[in-house]
Amino acid sequence: MTSFLEACGLTLSWDGGATVVARDISLHVDKGETVCLVGRSGCGKTTILHALSGLSRPLEGHVLLAGEDVTGTPGRISYMLQKDLLLPHLRIIDNACLPLTLAGVSRDEARGRARELFARFGLEGTEEQWPSQLSGGMRQRAAFLRTYLMGNDAVLLDEPFSALDALTRTELRQWYAHMAVELGLASVVITHDVDEAVSLASRVYVLRGNPSGGVPSSIVAQVDVPRPADGESFELSHAFVDAKREVFSHLG
Amino acid sequence: MIGTWPKARRWAVPLATLAVFLTVWEVAVRAGWVPNFLLPSPSQVVLAFVRDAPLLASHAVTTLLEAALGLTIGVVVGFVFAVLMDRFEVLYLALNPLITVSQTIPTVAIAPLLVLWFGYGLAPKVLLIVLTTFFPVTVSLVSGFRSVDPDVIDLMRTMNATDAQIFLRAKLPLAMEQFFSGLRISATYAIVGAVIAEWLGGFSGLGVYMTRLRKSFSYDSMFAVIILISTLSLALMKGIDIMSGVCMPWKRAERKTNHEDHVA
């Protein structure tokens, strides 16, 4: 039984092969499921996501999407970078529509399709505003909507909540967990925040290594997080604390 | 904190300074501290301006025509250079130092050569303006293109954008602000460039008119021309500001947001 998105034995490098960043990275995620990749800053998390997205090619290994080899092919998996990267010269709705209009959908049709989703993404009323007029949390929601309109069921998220204040972060994280299940997305989230990883993911991959010091990173542990039916109280439960403790023990 | 001053006062201060300066000037000339044949008083300049208005207008038409033509060609050339230098790294490396060095050559030094090569007509004037105006446009656009966040380009690629789409939908609009700041500088060069080119020979234009006035020692009329040249340059800059506001409607929203943040 294969998963929807799979990475098999990826080896990644910086400077075209001079520095090996990560070795033997394998992970898998199904639709409606979120997994997290946790590691300290500088251990190569973004490089891994870059390779999964197809923007760069791994030295070794494959990325499989629904069984198809998509290694080094951008455009098949949605990728949300750390910054919201909304284009300042487009109104929020046109920013959200960007993947559609780039694919040749007419502006009116694209706007129509996006408009229906604004309420669902908590963005109603912001359609005609410029990005600079929105708060960080709202901008991030708009970036989520744009990512969703890329139309792929597999989504990569690079520290999507790190630039937000603590309250907005918790709120948006819960909202995303809910949306990801509802939309049936297979999400891979990278973060250095163990709390965030455990509260979002059903499985946490712990990445360890020091590539700039000559030690390529690798996945040292895979921690399954038992998710109770009601997510609300989970963050105060023993299961949550146990999972956190286990992730910390592997992070070293 | 000048930023917190009310708008009215921000206008009042330079206006008051100007009024004091003009008053001192007027008094100095009228009291005979400065010989009148060397320096006309502000009121004499105004009178000369009114008296010469039809003549000034006819010469200004020539100068404006040259400036407009030169600026348009200069902007197009500058734009093409910038796009090519951004697209092909080797062109950037090859041209960047040459373009910079070319700007250290004083305009007044090449102007006589251009007259020598192309005569007293329109061509040398327009060429001089092209040479001086393309540079700010090229430099500002190239730096605008190069300062686009590479993550934006990566993001576009994950949306299957083509190179042309990345350029038209992201890079070009993101470089707009820098382009307009370059264009603003080019606009002032355009008028000044036209006048300098006209000094060295021609049949009409504000520069030609100025050389005639100098020979006849009509200093009041000369000052009137200087004021007209400044006014034309300012008007052109204002026109470009208006154009940039129309082309970048999101900038107004950004300024407003910043202002609200400041007040809060």
CATH code of residue B194: 1.10.3720.10
Say if A120 falls within a structural domain. Answer: yes
B257/A133 touch (CB, cutoff 8 Å), yes or no: yes
Say if B11 falls within a structural domain. Answer: no
A232: CATH: 3.40.50.300
Instruction: Look at residue A124 and tell me whether its pLDDT is greater than 60.
Output: yes
Residue B168: DSSP 8-state: I
Residues of B in Cβ contact (< 8 Å) with A131: 250
A85/B155 touch (CB, cutoff 8 Å), yes or no: yes
Say if B171 falls within a structural domain. Answer: yes
Residues of A in Cβ contact (< 8 Å) with B176: 89
Residues of chain B under the 50 pLDDT cut: 264
Q: Considering only residues 174 to 233 of chain A, which have any Cβ-Cβ distance to chain B shorter than 8 Å?
A: none
Say if B7 falls within a structural domain. Answer: no
Q: Say yes or no: B262 contacts chain A, CB-CB below 8 A.
A: no
SS3 letters for A44-91?
CHHHHHHHHHCCCCCCEEEEEECCEECCCCCCCCEEECCCCCCCCCCC
Instruction: Look at residue A97 and tell me whether its pLDDT is greater than 90.
Output: yes
CB A62 within 8 A of CB A8: yes
Say if A187 falls within a structural domain. Answer: yes
Residue A21: DSSP 8-state: E
CB-based contacts of B159, cutoff 8 Å, min separation 6: A75, A98, A99, A102, A103, A150
Of B157, B158, B250, the CB nearest to A130: B250
Residue B264 pLDDT = 45
B254/A132 touch (CB, cutoff 8 Å), yes or no: yes
CB-based contacts of B120, cutoff 8 Å, min separation 6: B201, B202, B203
Q: Give the domain-ending residue among A151, A181, A198.
A: A151
Of B154, B165, B173, the CB nearest to A55: B154
Residues of B in Cβ contact (< 8 Å) with A128: none
Quick one: average pLDDT of A84-104?
A: 94
Residue B4 pLDDT = 67
Quick: pLDDT tens for B53-72: 999 999 999 999 999 999 99
Same domain, A17 and A47: yes
Q: Say yes or no: A79 contacts chain B, CB-CB below 8 A.
A: yes
Same domain, A87 and A133: yes
CB B177 within 8 A of CB A104: no
Same domain, A70 and A189: yes
Say if A167 falls within a structural domain. Answer: no
Residues of B in Cβ contact (< 8 Å) with A83: 149, 151
Say if A166 falls within a structural domain. Answer: no
Same domain, A145 and A236: no
User: For residues B200 and A96, which has the higher predicted lDDT (pLDDT)?
Assistant: A96
Instruction: Look at residue A109 and tell me whether its pLDDT is greater than 90.
Output: yes
What is the extent of the structural domain holding A106?
A: 78-151
A88/B250 touch (CB, cutoff 8 Å), yes or no: yes
Same domain, A157 and A251: yes
Instruction: Look at residue A88 and tell me whether its pLDDT is greater than 80.
Output: yes
Quick one: average pLDDT of A99-104?
A: 93
CB A54 within 8 A of CB A5: no
Q: Which tokens belong to B52? A: 């010469």
Instruction: Tell me the shortest Cα–Cα distance from B243 to chain A, in angstroms.
Output: 15
Report the percentage of chain A scoring pLDDT > 70: 97
Residue A77 pLDDT = 93
Say if A186 falls within a structural domain. Answer: yes
Instruction: Look at residue A83 and tell me whether its pLDDT is greater than 70.
Output: yes
Same domain, A118 and A58: no
Say if A168 falls within a structural domain. Answer: no
Quick: pLDDT tens for A143-173: 999 999 998 999 999 988 887 888 888 888 8
B160/A78 touch (CB, cutoff 8 Å), yes or no: no
Residue A214 pLDDT = 85
Q: Say yes or no: A53 contacts chain B, CB-CB below 8 A.
A: yes
Q: What is the crossing angle of helices A92-102 and A136-149, to 10°?
A: 20
Residues of B in Cβ contact (< 8 Å) with A150: 158-159
Split into its structural domains, chain A has a count of 2
Quick: pLDDT tens for A44-75: 889 999 999 999 889 999 999 998 999 988 88
- Provide the edge-to-edge strand list for the sheet that holds A19-29: A68-69, A60-65, A5-14, A19-29, A215-224, A203-210, A34-38, A186-191, A154-158, A78-80
B157/A55 touch (CB, cutoff 8 Å), yes or no: yes
Same domain, A59 and A177: yes
Residues of A in Cβ contact (< 8 Å) with B253: 129-130, 132-133
Q: How many Cβ atoms from other residues are within 10 Å of residue A148's Cβ? A: 22
For residues A111, A114, A119, A121, the Cα torsion angle rounded to the nearest 10 degrees is: -140
Say if B237 falls within a structural domain. Answer: yes
CB A141 within 8 A of CB A123: yes
A87/B152 touch (CB, cutoff 8 Å), yes or no: yes
Q: Give CA–CA dist B128/B60, Å, rounded.
A: 18
Q: Say yes or no: B253 contacts chain A, CB-CB below 8 A.
A: yes
Q: Say yes or no: A163 contacts chain B, CB-CB below 8 A.
A: no
Nearest residue of A to residue B247 by CA position?
A89
Q: Say yes or no: A135 contacts chain B, CB-CB below 8 A.
A: no
Of A79, A89, A131, the CB nearest to B158: A79
B155/A99 touch (CB, cutoff 8 Å), yes or no: no
Same domain, A71 and A157: yes
Q: Give CA–CA dist A36/A39, Å, rounded.
A: 10
Say if B133 falls within a structural domain. Answer: yes
Output the CA–CA distances (angstroms, integers) from residue B102 to A126, A205, B112, in the order listed.
49, 57, 16
Q: Considering only residues 11 to 50 of chain A, which have any Cβ-Cβ distance to chain B shorter than 8 Å?
A: 50
Residue A89 pLDDT = 93
Chain pair A-B, CB pairs under 8 angstroms: 66
What is the extent of the structural domain holding B96?
A: 42-254
Say if B103 falls within a structural domain. Answer: yes
Residue A16 pLDDT = 74
Q: Give CA–CA dist B194/B212, Å, rounded.
A: 16
Instruction: Tell me the shortest Cα–Cα distance from A175 to chain B, in angstroms.
Output: 23
Residues of A in Cβ contact (< 8 Å) with B153: none
Same domain, A219 and A102: no
Split into its structural domains, chain B has a count of 1
Residue A174 pLDDT = 86
Q: Give CA–CA dist A84/B95, Å, rounded.
A: 35
A129/B253 touch (CB, cutoff 8 Å), yes or no: yes
Output the CA–CA distances (angstroms, integers) from residue B228 to B70, B72, B108, B156, in the order listed.
19, 22, 21, 48
Say if A35 falls within a structural domain. Answer: yes
Same domain, A55 and A157: yes
Supply the ipTM of this predicted assembly: 0.87
Same domain, A56 and A16: yes
Residues of B in Cβ contact (< 8 Å) with A81: 151, 154-155
Say if A42 falls within a structural domain. Answer: yes
Say if B81 falls within a structural domain. Answer: yes
Q: Say yes or no: A54 contacts chain B, CB-CB below 8 A.
A: yes
CB B251 within 8 A of CB A89: no
Per DSSP, the residues of A128-148 read TS-GGGS-HHHHHHHHHHHHH
Instruction: Look at residue A103 and tell me whether its pLDDT is greater than 70.
Output: yes
Quick one: average pLDDT of A171-195?
A: 89
Same domain, A157 and A236: yes
Of A16-30, A184-198, B86-100, B244-258, the one with minimum mean pLDDT is B244-258
Residue A98 pLDDT = 95
Quick one: average pLDDT of A18-39?
A: 91
Q: Say yes or no: B17 contacts chain A, CB-CB below 8 A.
A: no
Q: Give CA–CA dist B225/B218, Å, rounded.
A: 11
